[in-house]
Structure 1
Amino acid sequence: MEFNHERILLIFFLAAVVFSSLQPSVGRDDDDDCRPVQCRKGGPIVRFPFRLKDRQPQHCGYPGFDLSCSDFNEPILSLPDSVQFYIKQINYTGKFIHVQEQGGCLARIRYLNLSSSQFDFSGSSRDINLTIFSCPSSSGSGDLELDRFKTCLDDPDLGRRRMYYAMGSDWSIDLVPILSCTKMYNVSGLPSNDVLFKNYDLTLDWPPLICGDCDSQRKYCRFVNNSLGNQTECYGHIELPNRKTGKLH
């Protein structure tokens, strides 16, 4: 049986179509599981390297980026030593998050150990050491000098009977009238003297190698299929939330 030139080309074309259909495509089946989500309408968008662990499979997030939703539908990041932060903003291009503790006071900052997490304080300063003093509420009444060091810390059992002040560990004790106060503890390696002020905006960075410049290209990020280690790749095109409703499409 003789084949003409057109039939040969047709056979090669059909074979190529069948072969390509058997290859993994850019739109993998697991992409639908990892679509961006929110804890609430208008809240921070959660996508790779983050994932909501109660709503997305494990492969949808990078190790150490697991989030959950609070009772108030705010995304929560749980770090070592049981320190939990409410995430106020996620900046995927700059690779940083803005976080606070519930109530706006970083009361558990002294337990924070970032060395075993994927995050670090934003900026270069991590050499602030503070000493926390507990004082009778009357000791700082009307004292503008002492009021400068008043923190947002409190003791629910004591109510307003005690006030808590943060002072540089290397400052002279003569700078402030704390004779009636009790030294509580030291906090070291902080990014600022102001971390214990009400509603302090704590910024944490994550490593720039995770997802590279995917967001700058307006592309999503994911694990490389069947790769060794935690290699990531860019794919697709990022969809923005609806401007009117704040919901994802």
Structure 2
Amino acid sequence: MDFSKFLVTLLLVCLLTYESYVEAASVDQDFLRTCPSHRCNKHGPEIRFPFRLSTDPPSCGAQGMQLSCSGDDTILDHHVLGSCRVTEIYYRHRVINVIPLAEPSMQCPVQKLISTNLATDVYKQPQSSQVTTLVRCSRGFTPVDQYSIVGPASCLSNNTRQFWYLASASAYMSDLPRDCMAISKGISIPFTYDKRGPNSDDFAFNKRGNAVINFGETTFTWHLNNITYVCQQCEHEGRHCGFSSRRRQAFCQHHGILSFPS
């Protein structure tokens, strides 16, 4: 190839690269302009793709992942639990922690977590990193080891006063009074997360376990076929996920340079 042909080829490559860059920057800016991130209050969880705020266009979020604001609260309308207050969202780990909003007839919030199948088309309860057992007793007591058995949560169910406890895998069942009964195993604990995963030490179990039995706090992961894979790739690269309506495809945002799956 002579030098003139080399220059023409190089120019064509540069033009194609520039056009691709401009197109990518345009898609990125269009998404950011149409679908900005939101918070219901300055300390609340960030709402961004694959979630969207109810006032944003449907293309700003995946199907079934709409959130709304009620005052300072971030609200998820779960098909089984009903309206829930979102306490945390961990995009890197696909985890959302929620507390069902109190109903006048629901005096034992934790019962709602064990009486129904909470899975939906989008949300599933994760496999807990700890084996937990929900225990119901007819009288209250103070656990000897309050880092492996948390409670009690006292509530009225069927006109009978009941006392609920949550026991971790390290708990000795002999530490429980004989009138206590194991009700459910594998209750998911809504831990906090860092880049490495859940903060599941003894102190975290004590704090988060009490939130489960007192308020019915629970946790879900989400899965959305091809969107989930792309967005997880983005998050692990330290980038946010977006969606191209033209391509019908998720992408990684990065200062105008987009990464689409091949």
Relative to the length of structure 1, the TM-score reads 0.59
Query: Which has the larger share of helix?
Result: 2
CA distance in 2, matches of 1:95, 1:116: 15
Which structure 2 residues correspond to residues 49-128 of structure 1 after superposition, within 5 A? 49-53=50-54, 55-71=55-71, 73-102=72-101, 106-110=110-114, 111-121=116-126, 123-124=128-129, 128=132
Choose from 226, 235, 244 the match for 2:253.
235
How many Å separate the matches in 1 of 2:173 and 2:128?
27
Please report how far the alpha carbon of residue 176 of structure 1 lies from its aligned counterpart in structure 2 after TM superposition.
2.3
Give CA-to-partner distance per residue, 1:127-146, whole Å, 9 cap, x none: 7564645x3xxx43x6758x
Q: The residue matched to 1:197 in structure 2 has which SS?
A: helix
Match for 2:222: what amino acid? W
Report the structure number with the largest CA radius of gyration. Answer: 1
1:213 to partner: Cα distance: 2.4
2:177, 2:81 → 1: CA distance? 34
CA contact (8 A) 2:96 2:219 kept: yes
Aligned CA-pair RMSD: 4.6
Query: What is the alpha-carbon distance in structure 1 between the residues aligned to residue 36 and residue 178 of structure 2?
Result: 56
The separation in 2 between residues aligned to 1:130 and 1:232, in whole angstroms, is 40
Structure 1's unaligned 5+ residue stretches are 1-8, 239-249
Contact 1:150 1:166 in 2 (8 A): yes
- Give the unaligned 5+ runs of structure 2: 1-7, 103-108, 190-204, 257-262
Cα distance change on mapping 1:172 and 1:87 into 2, 3 Å: closer
Once residues 229 and 153 of structure 2 are traced to their aligned partners in structure 1, the CA distance between those partners, rounded to angstroms, is: 36
Q: Distance in 2 between matches of 1:81 and 1:191?
A: 16
TM-score by length of 2: 0.57
- Structure 2 CA distance for aligned equivalents of residues 60 and 221 of structure 1: 11
| Inter-partner Cα distance in structure 2 for 1:84 and 1:210 | 28
* Distance apart, 1:82 and its partner CA: 3.2
